[in-house]
Amino acid sequence: MGNVEEYPIIWLQCATCTGCSVSILNSESPTIKNILVDEILPGKHLNLRFHPTIMAGAGQAVIEEMEETKQRKSGSYILMIEGAIPTIEDGNYGCIGEKDEKPITMLSAVESLGKEALAVIALGTCAAFGGIAAAHRNPGKCVGVDKLFKSLSIITPLINIPGCPPHPDWLVGTVASFLLNGLPKEEDLDEYRRPKAFYGRLIHERCPRRADFDEGKFAKNFNKPGCLYELGCKGPVAYADCPLRLWNGGVNWCINAGSPCIGCCEFGFPDVVSPLYQKMDVEALPIVGRRIEIE
Amino acid sequence: MNKIIIDPVTRIEGHLKIEVSVENGEVKDAKSSGMLFRGIEFILQGRDPRDAQMLTERICGVCPTSHSIAAALNLDSAFGISDKIPDNGRIMRNLILGAAHIADHILHFYHLSALDYLDITKVASYDGSDAVLSSLRNFAERGKLGPFIPRYEGDYRLSDEITLNVIAHYIEALTMRRKAQKMVSIFGGKMPHNMGVIPGGVTMVPTTDKIISFIWRLNELRDFINTIYLPDVLAIAEAYSDYFEIGVGCRNLLSYGSYDLDGKESDLTKRQRLFKQGTVSIDLNFNKLDITQISEEVKYSWYESGSAETEPKFGKEGAYSWIKAPRYGGKVYEVGPLARMMTNYVNGDPRIKELADPILSRFKAEPKNLFSVLGRHIARAVETKYIADSMQDWLLQLKPGESSYVDYIIPDDSIGVGLIEAARGALGHWIEIKDKKIANYQCVVPSTWNLSPRDDSGQPGPVEQALIGTKIKDESNPFEVVRIVRSFDPCIACAVHCIKM
């Protein structure tokens, strides 16, 4: 057991609802116990040094633990960020804790930990793109990690795993790929730094109600069969593998529950897909999947 | 006077700071501070009202179902269809909410609270053959006990045998809460942030295959609740019985009631519900709910005072929290499972009495002793069983293949109210619609009540009152403080809200 390689992880919660953490708790295989306690892959253990919802300690002791991990493991820890980062009032709308009675803003924590991390995973749409916290009026002037890093010229490798919440498999798969193959190559990520393995195709391309769309059979109201396009479904512009992967261990997913996709993995969610239950313009539909006239 | 600052308070939802002043080993003063402001209600203004349940559930990833249902009830009311929701829709909402409450309560006891009572490092000396405990021992032997070290040291009282049992249950509870989340997903589409609850009912038509797959997951959970969760809560109560006297709080409880048993009464304060509406004081005085008694005060919160809308104002003189101070009839009220249990208890609910009375007699306790740290844990476990047992009947009342949704027209102008009980207590949503858009949206959320700072007249909030007067045995390991705070199951993303209507 001396050969187990430890991968320190610092998990920051910023302007979040904790839904991303709860989603990861729902991981089916590996379970959360496998992820945190066991060797997630032979000889490799994810060593969670800081996670506000899980860790036993509290107060300054855990802040010191976080800082010590940063110093001792500089350049070798993975930084997980959940939630957007409030920038208004020097970041004072959101604090993760304090040291010697000085509050530590989310803004300063993301900056100082982000600079020295081996890699940063922005988990969830808020961390990736601002998400709900940054929706119109954006009272806290919240931003996603990518935007913040660019403004601060931080060049630490960044992977976005959006979703409101993200599917646990998307995180676990990304981490496993990193443990086996190292950081993703640029061609493995899309223009929004999302792993193509999970976000490479539109919901619409693989939707079980696709045949209804192609045949023009649209549900006119909830509870009715047919494609949900007229009820506002954003599947035609949303990238994720939900139709194949399903949610909560395969028991269901949004469209199978008769609910239109709300495009929760997209840059600009929720504003760009609002009103959520309003039919998108036909012009917004992608070329891919448009019905081809058969001669 | 010594100051103890706990920031962050961990193993809760969100960003909470607790500060207590201690003199001669006793807490003389306490302050509860919410440390994140997002302003979801500002974000809702100007949007399509139908989006409210999708956006407000994202206030909280732990209790999204409660927000989605509060919002749906709010919109039903604003759209004038409160009395028209099909029974299938009403029942599926109950099942979605119930499954989420079961998941939340199991998570709260094992994963958020138990480490305050349980010496998890004892697993290092485990020499038996149980696979889970052995894997935990291997984990401990590697010497990297993150995230379980650092922690407070000292007051761990459970025997070795009970400790190892509860550690094994900590792991098993991870599986069980995941199963309960699957149950939400069966009718809600996914979890967290279920998609199924909408104004008018639920998006999905119930089918027999879904019903039976729900029933058998529920059966597994009922076994776990009966044979593991409830006994573990009582085992901890046995070892820490002094906590029947610790963390009494503000001595007044408030419940909006929850789980609609009929859908024909439009006034939610009068609707027949599994958990009844009302207030209960520590001398078991019951009063009917009157929501016109609710007010919110901001003298000690980082908001401008006095205006119609409460705008954020960080650094306001004297203020110390992003949480506002809701009050009922000008007085301080605690919300949560204890409020629900006691409201039904004083109304003579036979099932609640059947569950609670044997526990009271086992610990030679009076109902007033339930106003305590242990009372809150016991109430949570008791209601988990009560809800799970009730869900079996509800599942069989569903009519497979029949509608769970009723259509509506969005009015040009309207107002609405949605009242429900989230896992953590009374949750209210209010809406004002103008020109078919959201003009104003307000949430008053359980942790806003419980974690509130002082109000305009200087009365401390429920958690603050529960802390003041507490004896602290070891100021460098203030177990009493975190045990009291966590007994309320704080949810700070929920607690911070801003709009005044």
| In a domain? residue B394 | yes
Residues in A closer than 8 angstroms to B47, CB to CB, are 274-275
Range of the domain at B418: 2-119+156-495
Distance in angstroms (rounded) separating the CA atoms of residues A134 and B385: 39
A vs B, Cβ pairs < 8 A, gives 272
Torsion-angle region of residue B174: left (phi > 0), alpha (psi -120 to 50) or beta?
alpha
B67 closest CA partner among B197, B169, B173, B182? B197
Q: What is the DSSP pairing of strand A119-123 with strand A78-82? A: parallel
Q: Compute φ and ψ for B260, nearest 5 degrees.
A: -65, 125
Distance in angstroms (rounded) separating the CA atoms of residues B30 and B8: 15
| In a domain? residue B142 | no
Mean pLDDT rounded to a whole number for chain B: 96
H or E segment to which residue A115 belongs:
helix A106-116
Distance in angstroms (rounded) separating the CA atoms of residues A70 and B93: 45
- In sequence order, which residues have a C-beta less than 8 Å from that of residue B399 and are 6 or more positions away? B87, B88, B206
On the question of a cis peptide bond just before residue B150, with omega within 30 degrees of 0, the verdict is yes
User: Look-up: residue for tokens 């980082």?
Assistant: B302
- State whether residue B414 is helix, strand or coil: strand
Residue B108 designated active-site: no
On the question of a cis peptide bond just before residue A275, with omega within 30 degrees of 0, the verdict is yes
Handedness of CA B302, B305, B307, B308 (dihedral sign): positive
Would you tell me which residues 155-174 of chain B have a C-beta closer than 8 angstroms to some C-beta of chain A? Answer: 171, 174
Nearest to A139 among B138, B148, B312 (CB): B312
Residue A142 designated active-site: no
Cross-strand bridge partners of residue A79: A10, A120
How far, CA to CA in Å, does B471 sit from each of A59, A251, B3, B28, B376? 20, 49, 14, 10, 19
User: Look-up: residue for tokens 């119609």?
Assistant: B308
Flag whether residue B42 sits within 8 Å of chain A, measured between CB atoms. Answer: yes
Write the DSSP assignment of A175-227 as a string of letters: HHHHHHH-SPPGGGB-TTS-BHHHHSSBGGGG-TTHHHHHTT-B-SSTT--SB
Both structure tokens of B439: 């003009």
Answer whether B38 sits within 8 Å of A140, measured CB to CB. yes
Mind listing the pLDDT tens digit for each residue in B349-398?
A: 999 999 999 999 999 999 999 999 999 999 999 999 999 999 999 999 99
Answer whether A56 sits within 8 Å of B120, measured CB to CB. yes
CA B280 to chain centre: 18
Q: Are B103 and B422 in contact (CB under 8 A)?
A: no
CA B350 to chain centre: 24
At residue B305, the pLDDT reads: 79
Distance in angstroms (rounded) separating the CA atoms of residues B263 and B273: 10
Mind listing the pLDDT tens digit for each residue in A72-130?
A: 999 999 999 999 999 999 999 999 999 999 999 999 999 999 999 999 999 999 999 99
| In a domain? residue B40 | yes
Residue A207 designated active-site: yes
Nearest to A62 among B10, B192, B195 (CB): B10
Torsion of CA B346, B350, B351, B354, to 10 degrees: 90
Q: Are B318 and B450 in contact (CB under 8 A)?
A: no
At residue B500, the pLDDT reads: 57
Distance in angstroms (rounded) separating the CA atoms of residues B65 and B84: 21
Distance in angstroms (rounded) separating the CA atoms of residues A97 and A109: 10
Mind listing the pLDDT tens digit for each residue in A180-212?
A: 999 999 999 999 999 999 999 999 999 999 999
CATH number of the domain that B321 lies in? 1.10.645.10
At residue A284, the pLDDT reads: 78
Q: Number of C-alpha atoms within 13 angstroms, CB side, residue B264?
A: 1
Q: Compute φ and ψ for B334, nearest 5 degrees.
A: -95, 140
Average pLDDT over residues A63-70: 97
Average pLDDT over residues A120-142: 97
User: Look-up: residue for tokens 């809702």?
Assistant: B44
Residues in B closer than 8 angstroms to A51, CB to CB, are 147
A14 closest CA partner among A102, A63, A85, A98? A85
Q: How close does chain A come to B309, measured CA to CA in Å?
A: 13
Residue B498 designated active-site: no
Answer whether A19 sits within 8 Å of B62, measured CB to CB. yes
Flag whether residue A96 sits within 8 Å of chain B, measured between CB atoms. Answer: yes
Residues in A closer than 8 angstroms to B314, CB to CB, are 89, 92-93
Nearest to B189 among A18, A28, A254 (CB): A254
- In sequence order, which residues have a C-beta less than 8 Å from that of residue A54 and are 6 or more positions away? A36, A48, B10, B11, B111, B147
Widest distance between CA atoms in chain B: 69
Residue B250 has pLDDT above 80, yes or no: yes
Could you give the residue ranges of the DSSP H alpha helices within B255-398? 337-346, 350-362, 373-397
B6 closest CA partner among B385, B494, B481? B481
Distance in angstroms (rounded) separating the CA atoms of residues B64 and B56: 8
Mind listing the pLDDT tens digit for each residue in A212-254?
A: 999 999 999 999 999 999 999 999 999 999 999 999 999 999 9
Answer whether A257 sits within 8 Å of B177, measured CB to CB. no
Could you give the residue ranges of the DSSP H alpha helices within B40-196? 40-44, 52-56, 64-78, 87-106, 131-141, 160-188
Answer whether B7 sits within 8 Å of A256, measured CB to CB. no
Write the DSSP assignment of B244-293 as a string of letters: GSS---SSEEEE--EEES-S----TTTS-EEEPPEEEETT--EE---GGG
Domains identified in chain B, total number: 1
Residues in B closer than 8 angstroms to A276, CB to CB, are 48, 50-51, 54
Residue A295 has pLDDT above 50, yes or no: no
Q: Are A278 and A232 in contact (CB under 8 A)?
A: yes
Domains of chain A (ranges; CATH) run 5-198 (3.40.50.700), 201-295 (4.10.480.10)
At residue B494, the pLDDT reads: 72
**Which site among A51, A100, A222, A247 would you substitute to test the B interface, given the most B Cβ atoms closer than 10 Å to its Cβ?**
A222
| In a domain? residue B140 | no
At residue B497, the pLDDT reads: 65
Q: Are A39 and A22 in contact (CB under 8 A)?
A: no
Q: Which of A45, A142, A167, A254 is catalytic?
A: A254
How far, CA to CA in Å, does B134 sit from each of A13, A59, B20, B164? 31, 31, 40, 11
The pLDDT confidence band at residue A287, using thresholds 50, 70 and 90, is low
Residue A204 designated active-site: yes
Distance in angstroms (rounded) separating the CA atoms of residues B136 and B117: 18
H or E segment to which residue B237 belongs:
helix B230-239
Mind listing the pLDDT tens digit for each residue in B12-45?
A: 999 999 999 999 999 999 999 999 999 999 999 9
| In a domain? residue B124 | no
Count the Cβ atoms, other than its own, within 10 Å of residue B155. Answer: 15
The pLDDT confidence band at residue B144, using thresholds 50, 70 and 90, is low
Answer whether B196 sits within 8 Å of A257, measured CB to CB. yes
| In a domain? residue B149 | no
Q: How close does chain B come to A91, measured CA to CA in Å?
A: 10
Answer whether B7 sits within 8 Å of A221, measured CB to CB. no
| In a domain? residue B251 | yes
Average pLDDT over residues B283-306: 93
| In a domain? residue B62 | yes
- The complex's ipTM works out to 0.97
Q: Are B136 and B123 in contact (CB under 8 A)?
A: yes
Count the Cβ atoms, other than its own, within 10 Å of residue A150. Answer: 12
Q: What percent of chain A has pLDDT over 70?
A: 96
Nearest to B191 among A48, A132, A248 (CB): A248
Residues in B closer than 8 angstroms to A70, CB to CB, are none
Both structure tokens of A252: 């269901």
B283 closest CA partner among B339, B367, B353, B349? B367
